[in-house]
Amino acid sequence: MKPKDAVQFVKDNDAQIVDIRFTDLLGTWQHFSIPASHFTEEEFVDGLPFDGSSIRGFQAINESDMLLMPDASTLFMDPFSEVPTAVVICNIEDPLTRQPYSRDPRYVAVKAEQFLKSTGIGDTCFFGPEAEFFVFDRLEFSNESRHTFYRIDHEEASWNSGAEDSAGFTLKVKGGYYPCSPADKLQDLRTRMVLQMIEVGIDVEMHHHEVGVPGQCEIDMRFDTLTTMADKLMKYKYVVKNVAYQNGQIATFMPKPVFGDNGSGMHVHQSIWKNGNTAMYDEKGYAGLSDIARWYIGGLLKHADTLLAFCAPTTNSYRRLVPGYEAPINLMYSQRNRSACVRIPIANKSPKAKRVEFRAPDPMANPYLAFSACLMAGIDGIQNRIEPPKPLDKDLYELPAIERVGIKTTAPNLRATLTALANDHDFLLKGDVFTKDLIENYVEYKLLNECDAVDLRPHPYEFFLYSDY
């Protein structure tokens, strides 16, 4: 779609407002709106100004002016606005140099795809994230110097089995995988989400209730190229949150909002193609993997801790990445095996379906940065022929201690992954895909505003442990 087509799209859909959107460093959609009459081809040349100093991880106040450059190919109609509203996703430029902004996450994704082509390894990379989320009837929290709490609830939760107003058919802990209604009380809600996703241009493959109780869900999208898939994941989160809100419920992508039950992951399927053919398949290789695919896995596993700074980017992420809750903490790869950090799906025998599934990420990730980092690690593995540990086709959760010797696990917390990112990022700088200023600002922001902020506060459980000593 060209700029003139974008302007015509707005007119054809009788849009009265155009919503201008971009993604901040942490992966949140930001926006402002303009009258449709002001949306002309000139905006695609001149850009739309905004204050970069007010956006997390962006500019200092003395260099705050920035430009948003609409991408005509991203236009869609917002299904949640009362007034007909068209949405366009933007890239970011510096108004003085008119160069793309180094800390624009979407620009990082574009550069990652360009770098892949420059290596000659492939010309296309496909990504397919499986983003899980929880839906609650109630979500309350408070953080003050004198008290702190959170409270969640949903009618299907096991703790409501004895409630006077219980409707029955509650689910047991870890009992949420694939039950039919009336145990699955979110079928209709997920269906509404799917229909809205289709309306905004997302190709949906399936939806279902997930293991976690209460209210864990999964909606699977068909794979797409890296930047386009990141755009779709931003739409996905937007639709999930808004449909839940319209129905009086709250959706959250927090990886571990419920103690004692499974957390929400975002398994990321990925593959490289060249000249219309997959580079991942070799019928003679383990699980049908080519050398390129195996080296790609080697890169993922070697740089896993660094990747998690982008792929599992919150302190809460490491409440999920612990033993005992189907969390993929073991830095191994295996066919079929969901206990390994990298799984090779083999249900579909077609060479075209050959891919690797990185299971450690979660849906709090900024998709532009997370997908790009994964691709860069995979490319590093291919270029340096990094061999992963030998595959292990056993249940790694139940492996005897003597057999676990030498098996590395994911980093224990966000601070450790940020340290890894600070020390191991040369592979990300290749092709100027990531830049030092992006990495430094990201690490600084996360350490100060998340790691330090959480560490400084007394935890409610500490009162249970220590207050009567």
Per the structure block, which two tokens stand in for 200? 């905004």
CA distance 7 to 271: 35
Cis preceding linkage at 345, omega within 30: no
Catalytic, 267? Answer yes
Catalytic-residue membership of 146: no
Q: Where are the domains of the chain?
A: 3-101, 118-466
Q: Matching CATH topology for 3-101 and 118-466? A: no
pLDDT at 164: 73
Q: Which of 84, 71, 82 is nearest to 12 (CA)?
A: 84
pLDDT of residue 58: 87
303 catalytic? Reply is no
Query: Which of 41, 137, 338, 387 is flagged as catalytic?
Result: 338
Task: Return per-residue pLDDT of the chain as tens, 469 residues.
Answer: 889 999 999 999 999 999 999 999 999 999 999 999 999 999 999 999 998 888 988 877 667 788 999 999 999 999 999 999 999 999 999 988 999 999 999 999 999 999 999 999 999 999 999 999 999 999 999 999 999 999 999 999 989 887 777 777 888 888 888 889 898 999 999 999 999 999 999 999 999 999 999 999 999 999 999 999 999 999 999 999 999 999 999 999 999 999 999 999 999 999 999 999 999 999 999 999 999 999 999 999 999 999 999 999 999 999 999 877 677 888 999 986 667 899 998 878 889 999 999 999 999 999 999 999 999 999 999 999 999 999 887 776 677 777 777 789 999 999 999 999 999 999 999 999 999 999 999 999 999 999 999 999 999 999 999 999 8
**Residue at 207: amino acid letter:** H
Contact criterion met (CB below 8 Å) for 332 and 389: yes
Cis peptide before 214 (omega within 30 of 0): yes
Beta strands at 204-209 and 330-335: parallel, antiparallel or unpaired: unpaired
User: How deeply is 297 buried, as exposed, middle or buried, from its count of CB atoms within 10 A (0-12, 13-18, 19+)?
Assistant: buried
**DSSP string across 309-369:** HHHS-STTHHHHSSTTSS---EEEEEES-TTEEEEE--SS--GGG--EEE-S--TTS-HHH
Is 132 labeled as catalytic in the residue annotation?
yes
The confidence score (pLDDT) of residue 173 equals 86
Residue 241: φ, ψ to 5°: -65, -40
Catalytic residue among 78, 305, 357, 380: 357
Of 19, 43, 104, 132, the active-site residue reads: 132
Active-site hit among 43, 78, 156, 210: 210
Determine whether 51 is an active site residue.
yes
Give the active site residue among 71, 78, 113, 218. Answer: 218
CATH fourth-level superfamily of 118-466: Glutamine synthetase/guanido kinase, catalytic domain (3.30.590.10)
- Give me the half-sphere count of Cα atoms (radius 13 Å) on the Cβ side of residue 85: 17
Catalytic residue among 269, 343, 359, 415: 359
Type of residue numbered 451:
C
Query: Which is catalytic among the residues 19, 78, 113, 130?
Result: 130
Residue 12 in tokens: 């054809």
Is 56 one of the annotated active-site residues of the chain?
Answer: no
- Choose which CATH entry (3.10.20.70, 3.30.559.10, 3.90.1150.10, 3.20.20.10) describes domain 3-101: 3.10.20.70
Please say whether the beta carbons of 307 and 377 come within 8 A.
Answer: yes
- What is the Cα–Cα distance from 324 to 148, expressed in whole angstroms? 28
Q: What is the C-alpha end-to-end distance of the chain, expressed in Å?
A: 68
The verdict on whether 357 is a catalytic residue reads: yes
Asked about 387 being catalytic, the answer comes back as no
Which of the following is catalytic: 5, 14, 46, 51?
51
> Nearest to residue 428, comparing CAs of 418, 439, 443?
439
202 token code pair: 């997302």
- State the pLDDT at residue 326: 72
Determine whether 362 is an active site residue: no
CA gap 357, 343 in Å, rounded: 5
State both tokens at 243.
Answer: 């449909």
Exactly one of 267, 269, 294, 303 is catalytic; name it. 267
Rounded-to-integer distance, Cα 158 and Cα 176, Å: 11
Q: If we measure between CA atoms, which residue out of 427, 135, 441 comes closest to residue 296?
A: 427
Contacts 24+ apart (CB under 8 A), 182-190: 183/156, 184/156, 184/209, 185/154, 185/155, 185/156, 186/135, 186/156, 186/215, 186/217, 189/135, 189/243, 189/244, 189/247, 189/249, 190/217, 190/219
